[in-house]
Structure 1
């Protein structure tokens, strides 16, 4: 599974892995530092917070022009806009600085981070292997808004595909839809497919009508076949498939214009690398 849902709350497998790694690092650090009565949980939390703050600042700086239309959105971290390597470097630098001031932290922190890295790497590899069977474009029969049968592959026309799983009752789905609609208008080299999860077809039609969105390739999946096939019950979920209809990326949660632009850049770069590798 790519995500786990608890009522209206969803957490991705990546977030679970990060949380588990943090707890493991704290546990191993506690064991190693116990003889000297040294714990590293506070330090790990400080490293995580420092890393997240800098990762967000760097991401916003990179995409600053896209945030200008709505400056307060810079603070809305729900769009998933973080620069990973800036965060990692900052977190490690913060940890090194604290260890320099308190030498007794070096051994427990190092042991904790090494344990988290090794176990996290193994768990990540296992997750990727387990999910490989869900990596192909699902072949279920779906219906268009006017009731015509179709499939994702039929709509794709052999092009790279971006599949967005959404519902009219889902707030982050509603927030991100204008950004996705604009991207669909601009990127004709890719196919965008919006797979609606409403059990009431009228609700999906009403949402599109009320918001005056101009979007193509809206299909209905009231039985939730596609989320089950890809292993993600969270909404929204956005899936990126190459021209061979193999999943190359997945994003759980809503996008902003900036974070979706970043995801599109990474997707395009992946497509280029795959093309050169042939």
Structure 2
């Protein structure tokens, strides 16, 4: 399973791991601050600074690495809820912050390091508890497009496939759809390209067509899965979910939740590099 459900909320494993890591880091910092009243304000200030610096550095590293994906919509640089962080750049930011702490307020240095260590341990333990269990093959059963014609997802001619599961009632699905359709159209016809298919979950063709007309999106690449069989087959907990299949039909990765252009293109590049 690549996601975890907490009541009405569904988190992909990587996002849940990130949330736990941050909470443990901040909790550790607060506990240490309460035990060191003489330096409480400094500890809170520098642990908060370390967190902000990590976010900015990690995000900046990711943006620089994938700038081509952000150039079309620069504002998405600030859409950090979509994910996209470079851990190496974040670590560099933390090292710089720790160095600044020891220069400016040495007594806060050890508490900051201990808080980082607590977060690191939480990251490692949560990662072990929630391993990546991506496995499976492209479904062999036929689905229907919006005209009723059968579509066999397994007929790929050796091309990789990106399969997006969505619904018209799902706000993140509606937000990401125009971007994903734009990427799909840019790949259409490319000999080494990746096909993108949008599998609506549980809705009638009328509802889908009304949404496409309202948003001025084309029906190409849309298929219907009225019984939500794909969600059940791959044990998915929420929408949208984007599945990346290699050219041999094997499932390589799953992205649960709204996906950014950069993350989508990175996933496609990874598929092209898969033997």
SS in 1 for 2:227: coil
Matches within 5 A, 1:93-132: 93-128=96-131, 131-132=132-133
* Offset of residue 196 of structure 1: 0.8
Aligned 8 A contact 1:181 1:215 in 2? no
1:249 and 2:250 aligned: no
Aligned 8 A contact 1:142 1:220 in 2? no
TM-score by length of 1: 0.75
* Cα distance in 2, alignment partners of residues 69 and 149 from structure 1: 35
Distance 1:72 1:120, change over 3 A: closer
Aligned 8 A contact 1:3 1:231 in 2? no
* Cα distance in 2, alignment partners of residues 176 and 230 from structure 1: 21
Matches within 5 A, 1:150-229: 152=153, 154-187=154-187, 188=190, 189=192, 190-214=194-218, 216-229=220-233
1:47 and 2:25 aligned: no
TM-score by length of 2: 0.76
SS in 2 for 1:156: coil
Aligned 8 A contact 2:58 2:89 in 1? yes
* Cα distance in 2, alignment partners of residues 105 and 228 from structure 1: 50
SS in 2 for 1:159: coil
* Cα distance in 2, alignment partners of residues 71 and 26 from structure 1: 30
* Cα distance in 1, alignment partners of residues 81 and 182 from structure 2: 20
* Offset of residue 14 of structure 1: 1.6
Aligned 8 A contact 1:138 1:226 in 2? no
- Corresponding residue of 2:11: 11
* Offset of residue 31 of structure 1: 6.1
* Cα distance in 2, alignment partners of residues 247 and 261 from structure 1: 17
* Cα distance in 2, alignment partners of residues 72 and 222 from structure 1: 35
SS in 1 for 2:183: helix
Aligned 8 A contact 2:164 2:243 in 1? yes
Distance 1:203 1:17, change over 3 A: same
Instruction: Write out per-residue CA displacement over residues 167-200 of structure 1, whole angstroms, 9 at most, x where no aligned residue.
Output: 1222332232233223323334322221112433
* Offset of residue 47 of structure 1: 2.0
* Offset of residue 52 of structure 1: 1.8
Higher helix share: 1
* Offset of residue 33 of structure 1: 6.9
Instruction: Write out per-residue CA displacement over residues 140-191 of structure 1, whole angstroms, 9 at most, x where no aligned residue.
Output: 7452134455553x24344222111111222332232233223323334322
* Offset of residue 268 of structure 1: 3.4
Q: CA RMSD in A?
A: 3.4
- Corresponding residue of 2:137: 137
Aligned residues: 266
Instruction: Write out per-residue CA displacement over residues 229-265 of structure 1, whole angstroms, 9 at most, x where no aligned residue.
Output: 4343332221212223333333233344444334433
Stretches of structure 2 that go unaligned for 5 or more consecutive residues are none
